[in-house]
Structure 1
Amino acid sequence: MNTRQLQHFIALMENISLSAAAETVHLSQPALSRSIKALEEQLNVPLFIRSDRRLRPTPYAQAWEATARRMLMNEKEGNRLLQMMQSGETGRVALGMGSSLIDELLGPLIETMLKTLPEVQVKVSVETSGPLLNLLRDRQIDFFVGDTSIARHQQDLAVEALFTCGFAWYASRQHPIALHKNIDIAQLKCWPMVIASGYFDPAVVEHMEELYGLSSGLYDNFDVQSNDFQIVKYLLSSSNAILAATDISMINDVEAGKVVKLHVTPPLSLTLTLGILRLTDRVLPPVTERVMTLIRDRLKQTEIRRIQL
């Protein structure tokens, strides 16, 4: 049984007249009769009988009509679903990124998806780049946004660099040294020092240690380390903590006047490149490309705001 046979059956149920039904489905009367006869043979029951030169539905036809209509509707819905998937308007996408990107990237991304892609289901994993790489290779996520340096020499990864972050020291606007100039590392150490720990390129860690003479190791000089950036930001706003962070993670708070970038000498002359990382051998559905386009657009807007700031 096929879709055309179902359409022919419904046409006969609605018209009864063979000629009218044939005209509805754009067939000759003999062709329509052959189609119905083939359907009856497949179902092994009579569907119509001739009476007074008209076709009358049998009890079998009356009982089966609702099923036939449902089968046609399901096929139409299935075709619609496939068309929407091809256009990226529906489907499922699983992505990941670090908690430092929640305010500037992840939150606005999900908000936009809810408005523009309401048929898309999204699953988000908030982790640092190391765990996200494991999730990617386990195929639990389709892609993630993270530090592209983690993909160095990794042949199974495709990387699209999108945004180069700078690093700086930050404090709340009310901090006693917020407006000081030429702050050195000794002055910073007079206050609780906080860092959002996660994946750091070893070259970045080494550079920070050399830049500030941190012979005991970078992380030993911080009072608080956390891979949850929301906790880090809470400490920054509720205490006299000093934070080392990327500019993208702090751009909203700097714009809002909640925090300031400290004038530290020497400055943190470091960069980190954010990008989209995915597996080279994995074919992703069209909806994934739609979501990645939203990420690209958002980061372009962030770059404009950073320049203005």
Structure 2
Amino acid sequence: MTLVQLRHLLALADSGSFSRAAEAVHLTQPALSRSIQTLEDELGQPLFDRLGRHSELTPFGRAMAVRARQVLDDADALRDHGRRLARGEAAELRLGLGSGPGAMLMTPLLMSAAARHPGWRIEVSRATTARLVQALQARALDALVVDVRSLAPSADLCVDTPCEMRGAFMVRPGHPLLAADTGVRFDEVQRFPIASTPLSDEVARVLMARYGPEAHPQRCVTLRCEEIPSLVEVTARSDAVLIAIRAAGPTLVELPMEPPLDATARFGLATLAGREPVPGLEAVRALMREALRDTPSSRLSAAAADARAR
């Protein structure tokens, strides 16, 4: 049974005439008759009663015609959707975002889809990197944007579009730690609640190398969650100190640490090796290059902090 045979069935059902149906599907009448006969032989029952030159659907034929119309409508919708995908007019993308990329990329991604790609269907998932990787490997997600330093080495993952963003200690304007004329030591920071998302082992090593064993995130972080915007708001309304990418807290003030933190987060797009790329990923890559970068103001604040520390 083929879609072509189902189209022949409906053409004859709609016209009631082999000659008119053959003309509609651009076949000779004998060729159409052979197609209908082959379909009837496969189904084991007649689809039409031949009444002279007129043909009427049998009760079984009527049931088949209803189902054939549904199948053909679905097939036409699939064909049209495929063509729209090929033209870039549609995409169905299931994307996982880690905490840092989620803070910087979520709004630009949804705004881009709403304004530039109204035919797209995007589903965003937020979770720990480990859970996002599990979902990707289970084919429940199409791609991830995560801190690549938190990814365990795996032969089935491909990572590209690396984006580095500078990390910092940040506080609200007017925070007591900003009153010092010299650089802020880590033991002074520890007098206040310290907030962060789960940090990679690489960042933990940098923190301990700069400030000693007490700076390990498992020891020093007292407020931890996956959502940077919530941590930024808490920091803006309390004396908490936030460890995060500098660009995530534009309203916060960077602490001039002594020694300087001098650490970056490295974000990338992770997909499954050997899997056909889904439409829409190129747009995600372009947004990553645009959104996951330090702004001029954050680079200026870094220079000011370095000068103050010196």
TM range (shorter): 0.7 to 0.9
Confirm or deny: 8 A CA contact 2:177 2:184 kept in the other structure: no
1:226 maps to amino acid: R
Once the two structures are superposed, residues 192-227 of structure 1 have per-residue CA deviations (whole angstroms, 9 ceiling, x without a partner) of 14131413234x333333433x35443477362303
Among candidates 290, 294, 298, match of residue 283 of structure 2:
294
Please, which runs of 5 or more residues in structure 1 have no aligned partner? none
SS at match of 1:235: helix
State whether residues 159 and 269 of structure 2, in contact with CA within 8 Å, keep that contact through their aligned partners in structure 1: yes
Matches within 5 A, 1:70-149: 70-83=70-83, 89-91=90-92, 93=94, 95-113=95-113, 116=117, 118=119, 120=121, 122-127=123-128, 129-137=129-137, 140-149=140-149
Match for residue 49 of structure 1?
50
- The 2-side partners of 1:75 and 1:186 are apart by 64
Change (3 A) 1:66 1:247: same
**Match of 1:70, as an amino acid?**
Q
What are the Cα deviations for residues 111-158 of structure 1, in whole angstroms up to 9, with x where unaligned?
A: 43456265535251322x344445445555443222223447544432
Task: Tell me the alpha carbon deviations over residues 54-103 of structure 1, each in whole angstroms, 9 at most, x when there is no partner.
Answer: 3232544556543332332233234334555666734452x333233333
Aligned equivalent of 2:265, options 244, 267, 272? 272
**1:99 touches 1:230 (CA, 8 Å); kept in 2?**
no
Check 1:159–1:102 CA distance in 2 against 1; reply closer, same or farther (3 A cut).
closer
What amino acid is the match of 1:243?
L
Cα distance in 1 between the residues matched to 2:295 and 2:120: 33
Are 2:193 and 2:239, in contact at CA under 8 Å, matched by a contact in 1? no
Matching residue's letter, 1:171: V
- Take 2:297 and 2:217, find their aligned partners in 1: how far apart are those partners? 33
CA contact (8 A) 2:196 2:221 kept: no
Check conservation: 1:181, 1:264, Cα contact below 8 A. no
TM-score, with length taken from structure 1: 0.77
Deviation at 1:306, TM superposition (A): 0.7
Offset of residue 275 of structure 1: 0.9
- What SS is found at the alignment partner of 2:199? coil
Residues in 1 aligned to 2:276 and 2:182: alpha-carbon distance in whole angstroms: 50
Paired letter, 2:34? R
How many residues end up aligned between the 2 structures? Answer: 293
State the partner residue of 2:224. 226
Residues 145 and 223 (structure 1 numbering): CA distance in 2 closer, same or farther, change over 3 Å? closer
2:257 alignment partner, SS class:
coil
Give the % identical residues.
23
Give the letter aligned to residue 127 of structure 2.
V
Q: Distance in 1 between matches of 2:132 and 2:247?
A: 19
Q: How far apart, in 2, do the equivalents of 1:137 and 1:300 lie? A: 25
For the residues of structure 2 that align with 1:194 and 1:56, how far apart are their CA atoms? Answer: 81
Deviations 1:204-258 (A, max 9, x none): 333333433x3544347736230333442232121122222212422xxx1xxx3
2-structure distance, mates of 1:65, 1:135: 41
Gaps of 5+ in 2: 299-310
> Aligned partners of 1:132 and 1:33: how far apart in 2?
55
Q: Calculate the TM-score normalised by the size of structure 2.
A: 0.76
Partner residue, 1:244: 243
Amino acid of the structure 2 residue aligned with 1:244: I
The 3 A distance-change label for structure 1 pair 82 and 37 is: same
- What CA distance in whole angstroms lies between the structure 1 residues aligned with 2:205 and 2:293? 31
